[in-house]
Structure 1
Amino acid sequence: MAPKKGLLQRLDEGVVIGDGGFVFALEKRGFVKAGPWTPEATVEHPEAVRQLHREFLRCGADVMQAFTFYASDDKLSNRGNESSKKYTCRGINDAACRIAREVANEGDALVAGGLSQTPTYLSGIGKEATQAEFKKQVDVFVENKVDFLIAEYFEHLEEMEWAIESCCKSGLPVVATMCIGPEGDLHNNSAGECAVRMAKAGAHVVGLNCHFDPFVLLEAMKKMKVALDEAKLKVHMISQPLGFMTPDASKQGFIDLPEFPFALEPRICTRFDMHRYAREAYELGIRYIGGCCGFESYHIRAIAEELEKERGSLPLSSEKHETWGKGLKMHTKPWVRARASRQYWEQLKPSSGRPYCATMSKPDNWGITAGHELLKQKTQETSEVEIQTLQALKTKK
């Protein structure tokens, strides 16, 4: 059997489709705890992680990204419960790599090891301590012979540069994605500057992931492309947005929305939104196209179906799904059969189904340093309400 083509060769020759969002998908399924968002499921419930990989593979993903989000020792130790003592960076990352490789070998997929922002950086301990946390993960990835590395979900450009440096020491291709939007990072570095500095730090593929919907993220990607072109830097681009619509989100994206994280379902993108996203990303010159939180396997299938001509094939999952609803021609109801067309689904404006539901939300707009004060204020307000409620109950008795 011929060896698999590597990431950079695939990007030079065509399109690479990423996978979707493991953290949110597994939280909904009961395998990840919201708040910590750490991936103990790779050890506790490997079958759940394995099945999700298989769903993405069947729907056209070319990459099985090991479920190692927030799997650094400093993040695991911050969980504040007994289970955090059971698992280590090495144990979780090793299990995640083995599961991803097992499924990747069932197809023509590559395995990526991913690392993300750390509590060590946010604590201000410094570069050496932060990179020590990165090194623990990178060492496990190298031992497991992953095909490339992804430094993802960074809000601070400085920490991203430190992560890229750590990844580059492995000798593997390095992908770098920040979770920022058109306004730039949390230290007011523009999206364009972030792209340029990521490329200069050594990343082979640069772009964005998470925090914003496909179309908001593409606006930021346009700024990145302009800056890279002006700097004459030749790197590939990657986009892995949310599967939720966030036109009303502020600088920190969906985490500022009041629906985060348990009431985001009314915002889920349709498969037809993903057709549009895939086409616009491709036309922008992005060749690594995938998704993050909220992306389910059918979203990835929509990307693969939209890019069928560019890729030369359809995913296995399309055996049970005809593009643009053509399978509805076999429906028993004539008005449903009438929906078996691209024109119908492209023109549809989906309803939320919720009477009097607001079109947009009012983001919390938590600042970098204002968070603790806002939390204190909200806690105080809640306490006052509780006191008033107790007093009312006593009076009633």
Structure 2
Amino acid sequence: MICGEGYLFELERRGYLQAGSFVPEVALDNPQALKQTYRDFMLAGSDVVLAFTYNGHREKMRIIGKEDLLEALNRQAIRLAKEVAQEHPQEEALVAGNISNTNLFNPDDPEAVEKTRSMFAEMIGWCKEEGVDFVNGETFYYYEEALIALEEIQKQDLPAVITFGLMGENILRDGYEVEEACRLLQEKGALVVGMNCFRGPATMQPYVEKIRNTVDGYVGALPIPYRTTEEHPTFFNLPDGGCACTIPTETTFPTSLDPLYTNRYELAEWAKEAQGIGVNYLGLCCGASPAMLREVAETVGRKTVNSKYSPDMEKHFLFGSDDTLQDHVTSYKTKA
């Protein structure tokens, strides 16, 4: 299965979302922009239209002073996703609800634990009422928070996809190895377990392999499209040694990451490797574009709706090989 994520950065690039708070107010403020983003990723190969409610939880809405819009935002994001899923010209796409790391959870604070559970319960309840096909719980960096998410999803009798965001310590914040956390969640009934966000292919794949070797069921992997390294395993602290200006943020994250992208062919190589070890649920996360996702989908054997727009340099005026191109122009390609 292919799942397109990355709406957060994509909508910020398009000018409809604020970097920093990263709250998906676009569902209410600019619904047509959100629908087009859903559509673009679906036509690029995503089998899933993921309702954009990442960070659309009570804690984030509290921080920006808009808790009163919480339910409307969640329901609208799901309804828009369902509308787009029905547009698919070949087969209606699946629609997934979405919950995520709350940034409130603290295993040593019983009140925070209960607030987290309550936040998940209300969001998943809206997912159930709006008729999603499954719920995607993502970017958890605590096993125990992910477990609460799974439990609340199961209370609504919905399938669960649960993925972890592994920070630079290379271990979850409550001490679990990510592969052990995935094994435990799968044993407790999660349909898909794995990783998403924070890490590019180079620093996610070693842990995905550990997960694949540890669990028996479906494994998901959705890296960010940036060149993370062993020294800098996440995009939170990626340096850009070539920057010639002073950036306003402490690090290149989140608005100065552009020079640190992987290209689509690097992502294709990763997708081939991931598929080869038995990853079943493939996608990309923050920073991904529809063209990048299309490359991933095509690499694992899919012909997408928009594959008709995949690169073909045969007709290019300078680099093409078509016999009707002008020789006096193509001869300049070595000097261009």
The TM-score, its normalising length taken from structure 2, stands at 0.86
8 Å contact from structure 1 (residues 249, 256) kept in 2: no
Query: Equivalent residue of 2:195, what SS?
Result: strand
| Seq. identity, % | 30
Structure 1 position 195 matched with structure 2 position 176: no
Q: Which residue of 2 aligns with 1:270?
A: 263
Moved more, 139-148 or 186-195: 186-195
8 Å contact from structure 2 (residues 203, 230) kept in 1: no
8 Å contact from structure 1 (residues 20, 297) kept in 2: no
Deviations 1:216-275 (A, max 9, x none): 2111111112222xxxxx320111110111115546x21233211111001112111121
Deviations 1:328-368 (A, max 9, x none): 121222xx237xxxxxxxxxxxxxxxxxxxxxxxxxxxxxx
Q: State the distance in 2 between where 1:249 and 1:305 align.
A: 31
8 Å contact from structure 1 (residues 40, 87) kept in 2: no
Shift in Å at residue 85 of structure 1? 5.1
Shift in Å at residue 36 of structure 1? 1.3
What number of residue pairs does the alignment pair up? 303
Q: Which residue of 1 aligns with 2:123?
A: 137
Of 205, 212, 217, the residue aligned with 1:235 is: 217
Q: Which residue of 1 aligns with 2:5?
A: 20
Q: Which residue of 2 aligns with 1:183?
A: 170
Q: Which residue of 2 aligns with 1:31?
A: 16
8 Å contact from structure 1 (residues 72, 136) kept in 2: no
Shift in Å at residue 300 of structure 1? 0.9
Q: State the distance in 1 between where 2:77 and 2:128 align.
A: 13
Of 46, 52, 68, the residue aligned with 1:67 is: 52
Letter of the 2:11 counterpart: L
Letter of the 2:195 counterpart: L
Of 53, 73, 85, the residue aligned with 1:92 is: 73
Query: Equivalent residue of 1:18, what SS?
Result: strand
Q: Which residue of 1 aligns with 2:148?
A: 162
Query: Equivalent residue of 1:282, what SS?
Result: helix
The structure with more helix, counted as a fraction of residues: 1
Shift >6 Å, 4+ stretches: none
Shift in Å at residue 201 of structure 1? 3.0
RMSD over equivalenced CA pairs, Å: 1.8
Q: Which residue of 1 aligns with 2:313?
A: 328
Shift in Å at residue 129 of structure 1? 2.3
Structure 1 position 259 matched with structure 2 position 252: yes
Deviations 1:150-204 (A, max 9, x none): 1101111111111111111111110000001692212332122121122133211
- After superposition, the Cα gap between the structure-2 partners of 1:85 and 1:152, relative to the gap in structure 1 and judged at 3 Å, is closer
Letter of the 1:118 counterpart: T
Q: State the distance in 1 between where 2:207 and 2:103 align.
A: 26
What residue ranges of structure 2 are gaps of 5+ in the alignment?
A: 239-250, 322-336
Deviations 1:32-74 (A, max 9, x none): 1112111110011001110011111111110000000011112
Letter of the 1:279 counterpart: K
Q: Which residue of 2 aligns with 1:115?
A: 99
8 Å contact from structure 2 (residues 5, 50) kept in 1: no
Q: State the distance in 1 between where 2:122 and 2:80 align.
A: 19
In terms of Rg, which structure is larger?
1
8 Å contact from structure 1 (residues 20, 296) kept in 2: no
8 Å contact from structure 2 (residues 54, 98) kept in 1: yes
Q: State the distance in 1 between where 2:190 and 2:32 align.
A: 33
What residue ranges of structure 1 are gaps of 5+ in the alignment?
A: 1-15, 229-233, 339-397
Structure 1 position 316 matched with structure 2 position 308: no
